[in-house]
């Protein structure tokens, strides 16, 4: 069993021995301070990045007067770059055995990009900055999730990820509100916003550098024997041929291909309902609020009921969201129900996927495994959004939603079967 990845903080076993039920003779949940701090780092960083993201379109077109369509093209390239560096950063984290250093590099790069916002004028400068920010995000994610894994009690892994994702999403929901608050007070106050955003990024990086210990992952034996110089940057796909992990990647990729971007769901909601048009900016914030509320409960459920089951069930919530969006309903209730389902989908899949990947990966490949799962999901979702754009125009928004929903209804049991077989393999291995 690889589940015993590490137990650095489990020294105080049975600190609350009052549990009398023998079936529940597990250690009590103890939140690792490392995870709390990683959550706070993510919260500050997300306030920093989401505050800028929320107003970037306004800034670029309304304020700088740059071509909006060009930005859309480069946006796609940035997303691709971010997805690919994830797996590379995970691999680098495993190679060094010190994920914190890699995570710090990622957070640091995003922080430096924020400095650039203060001086950027032209389109290319802005593109470089946004790309730097996205690559920083790509770099930090897998090593950070590896740190969470090695700091968490293994039997409460998903719940610990839930705590982290909750804090993370407090930042993601608060950032846009902060941005709109600043622009409400100072209508052209973009430079003020960039300064405030930088301040939050600096605090996040400082908290990571100063308070998160430089935990080691993987085998303590140092570099693998037989490593030849010059082979340092050779990535071996065999790393990913872990029993179970390959099946997780397959299932996650399959489901990812049927996960269209939130932007499309928001557009469908707007299409039928002037309420959603009026409150468009709140749709994004609302989804994040639901995500943060449900992150811990669904993490606990994943620990008890099974991470794979919760991960797949999250896609059932997504399926219901599609159907509800496609249904000829309107008004506040239907829109809110869609947001709840979408938030539940993220809460059931985001942290749980990282927990699942780390459970299925041996310790010396931990960050690579997590990064691989996240890369697969990111790339398959990008493909899904591109494909859905075509469906949208050929079939119309509602029909397109129903078609994707129908495919998802087939993919969900298929993914469950794939993952079950993976779990069985894992236990035999």
Partner 1 sequence: MSPVSGRKHWIILLVITVVVLAGAGSYAAIAFQRFQDSRSAASAVSVASGRALPAAPFVLFRNTAPGQGYGMAGTVPLEEPAGQRLLASEACDRVYGTSRNVVCLKTNRGLVTNFEAVLLNREWQPNSRWALPGMPSRTRMSADGSLVSTTVFVTGHSYGASGFSTETSISRTDGGAGTGNLEAFALIVNGAHVTAADRNIWGVTFVLGDADVFYATAASSGRIWLVKGSISAKTLTAIHDGVECPSVSPDGTRVAYKMNIGTPVAAHWKIAILDLASGNETVLAEARSIDDQIEWLDDGILLYGVPRDGAEGDSDIWQIRADPSARASLFIEHAWSPSVVR
| Nearer to partner 1 among residue 149 and residue 197 (C-beta) | 197
The binding track of 242-261 with respect to partner 1, each residue x by CB under 8 A or -, is -------------------x
String of DSSP letters for 209-253: HHHS-----S-TT-SPTTPPTT-TT---GGGG--TTHHHHHHHHH
Asked if 267 interacts with partner 1 (CB under 8 A), we say yes
According to CB under 8 A, which one of 125, 186, 417, 429 is a site residue for partner 1? Answer: 186
Burial class of residue 372 in the structure, from the number of CB atoms within 10 Å of its CB (0-12 exposed, 13-18 middle, 19+ buried)? buried
Q: Could you give the 3-state DSSP secondary structure of residue 27?
A: coil
Asked if 75 interacts with partner 1 (CB under 8 A), we say yes
Asked if 264 interacts with partner 1 (CB under 8 A), we say yes
The binding track of 126-155 with respect to partner 1, each residue x by CB under 8 A or -, is ----x---x---------------------
| Nearer to partner 1 among residue 210 and residue 234 (C-beta) | 210
Instruction: Supply the minimum distance, in Å, between the C-beta of residue 15 and partner 1.
Output: 20
10 is written with which tokens?
């489990």
Instruction: Supply the minimum distance, in Å, between the C-beta of residue 158 and partner 1.
Output: 24
Asked if 297 interacts with partner 1 (CB under 8 A), we say no
Distance CA 333, CA 155 (A): 37
Judged by CB under 8 A, how many residues of this single chain contact partner 1? 74
According to CB under 8 A, which one of 109, 163, 183, 340 is a site residue for partner 1? Answer: 183
Residues 210-229 that bind partner 1 (CB under 8 A): 210-211, 213
195, HSE (Cβ side, Cα atoms, 13 Å): 5
Distance CA 25, CA 313 (A): 27
Residues 6+ apart with CB under 8 A from 68: 57, 60, 61
Distance CA 44, CA 196 (A): 11
Distance CA 285, CA 175 (A): 9
Instruction: Supply the minimum distance, in Å, between the C-beta of residue 277 and partner 1.
Output: 4
Asked if 58 interacts with partner 1 (CB under 8 A), we say yes
Contacts 24+ apart (CB under 8 A), 391-395: 392/264
Asked if 346 interacts with partner 1 (CB under 8 A), we say no
Residue 15 per-residue DSSP state:
S
Asked if 119 interacts with partner 1 (CB under 8 A), we say no
Among the candidate windows 58-66, 86-94, 304-312, 404-412, which touches partner 1 by CB under 8 A? 58-66
Distance CA 27, CA 156 (A): 9
| Nearer to partner 1 among residue 202 and residue 293 (C-beta) | 202
Asked if 70 interacts with partner 1 (CB under 8 A), we say yes
Asked if 399 interacts with partner 1 (CB under 8 A), we say no
According to CB under 8 A, which one of 297, 330, 362, 389 is a site residue for partner 1? Answer: 389
Residues 19-48 that bind partner 1 (CB under 8 A): none
Distance CA 173, CA 281 (A): 11
According to CB under 8 A, which one of 63, 235, 305, 332 is a site residue for partner 1? Answer: 63
Among the candidate windows 73-81, 92-100, 300-308, 336-344, which touches partner 1 by CB under 8 A? 73-81
Of 287, 288, 344, 278, nearest to 317 by C-alpha is 344
Asked if 331 interacts with partner 1 (CB under 8 A), we say no
Among the candidate windows 70-78, 243-251, 336-344, 367-375, which touches partner 1 by CB under 8 A? 70-78
Asked if 332 interacts with partner 1 (CB under 8 A), we say no
Burial class of residue 149 in the structure, from the number of CB atoms within 10 Å of its CB (0-12 exposed, 13-18 middle, 19+ buried)? buried
Distance CA 90, CA 316 (A): 29
Distance CA 177, CA 112 (A): 23
According to CB under 8 A, which one of 31, 84, 128, 199 is a site residue for partner 1? Answer: 199
| Nearer to partner 1 among residue 58 and residue 416 (C-beta) | 58
User: How big is the CA angle at 104 (ends 294 and 123), to the nearest 5 degrees?
Assistant: 90
């Amino acid at each position: 069993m690889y589940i015993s990845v590490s137990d650095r903080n489990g020294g105080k076993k049975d600190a609350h021995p009052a549990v009398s039920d023998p079936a529940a003779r597990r250690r009590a949940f103890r939140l690792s301070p490392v995870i709390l701090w990683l959550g706070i780092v993510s919260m500050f960083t997300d306030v920093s990045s989401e505050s800028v993201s929320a107003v970037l379109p306004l800034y670029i077109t309304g304020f700088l007067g740059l071509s909006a369509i060009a930005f859309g093209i480069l946006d796609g390239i940035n997303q691709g770059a971010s997805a690919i560096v994830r797996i590379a950063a995970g691999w680098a984290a495993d190679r060094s055995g010190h994920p914190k250093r890699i995570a710090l590099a990622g957070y640091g790069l995003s922080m430096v990009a924020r400095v650039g916002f203060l001086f950027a004028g032209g389109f290319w400068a802005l593109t470089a900055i946004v790309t730097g920010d996205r690559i920083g995000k790509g770099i930090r994610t897998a090593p950070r999730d590896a740190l969470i894994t090695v700091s968490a009690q293994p039997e409460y892994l998903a719940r610990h990820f839930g705590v982290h994702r909750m804090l993370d999403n407090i930042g993601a929901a608060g950032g846009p509100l902060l941005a709109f608050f600043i622009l409400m007070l100072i209508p052209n106050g973009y430079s003020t916003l960039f300064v405030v955003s930088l301040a939050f990024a600096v605090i996040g990086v400082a908290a990571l550098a100063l308070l998160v210990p430089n935990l080691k992952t993987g085998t303590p034996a140092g570099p693998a024997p037989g490593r030849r110089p010059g082979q340092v940057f050779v990535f071996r796909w065999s790393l990913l041929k872990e029993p179970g992990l390959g099946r997780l990647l397959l299932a996650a990729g399959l489901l990812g291909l049927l996960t269209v971007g939130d932007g499309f769901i928001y557009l469908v909601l707007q299409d039928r309902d002037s309420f959603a048009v009026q409150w468009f900016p709140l749709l994004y914030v609302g989804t994040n609020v639901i995500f943060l509320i449900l992150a811990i409960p669904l993490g606990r459920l994943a620990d008890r009921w099974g991470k794979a089951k919760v991960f797949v069930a999250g896609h059932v919530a997504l399926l219901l969201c599609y159907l509800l969006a496609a249904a000829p309903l309107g008004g506040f209730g239907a829109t809110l129900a869609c947001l709840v389902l979408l938030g539940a989908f993220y809460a059931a899949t985001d942290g749980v996927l990282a927990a699942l990947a780390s459970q299925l990966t041996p310790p010396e490949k931990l960050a690579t495994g997590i990064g691989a799962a996240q890369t697969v999901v990111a790339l398959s979702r990008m493909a899904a959004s591109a494909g859905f754009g075509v469906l949208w125009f050929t079939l119309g928004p509602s029909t397109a939603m129903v078609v994707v929903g129908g495919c998802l209804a087939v993919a969900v049991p298929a993914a469950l079967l794939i993952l079950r077989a993976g779990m069985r393999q894992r236990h035999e291995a």
